[in-house]
Amino acid sequence: MKTVKIKIKSQDRASRLELFIRIVWVIVSSIVLWLFGLLACVCAVVQWFYILIAGRRHKGLNKLLKVYVLYKAKLGAYSLMLTDERNPVFPED
């Protein structure tokens, strides 16, 4: 089993404007995360059948699922105010 490590950056003070932007940013990112989650669920089912038939993982599907989990973790940390580092609205590689 592998260990997951996430670096969290935060500041001591936050402006009120940043807190308002955070709320809007989290709402928009959550909508994207929900749509990305639907795609990840379909990919997980396809990945399961691929593993069942081929006996190995498909690299593209596996990478997409990893990006989904990482994006979800980063958005969770940002929305719970654990970090001030804003992740992009659309997931990156």
Query: What is the pLDDT, as a whole number, of residue 64?
Result: 93
pLDDT digit string, tens, across residues 65-86: 999 999 999 899 888 888 878 8
Of how many residues is the chain composed?
A: 93
pTM of the model: 0.78
Task: Give the residue from 5, 84, 83, 70 showing the smallest Cα distance to 33.
Answer: 70
Q: Is 75 helix (H, G, I), strand (E, B) or coil?
A: helix
pLDDT digits (tens, 9 = 90+) for 17-66: 888 888 999 999 999 999 999 999 999 999 999 999 999 999 999 999 99
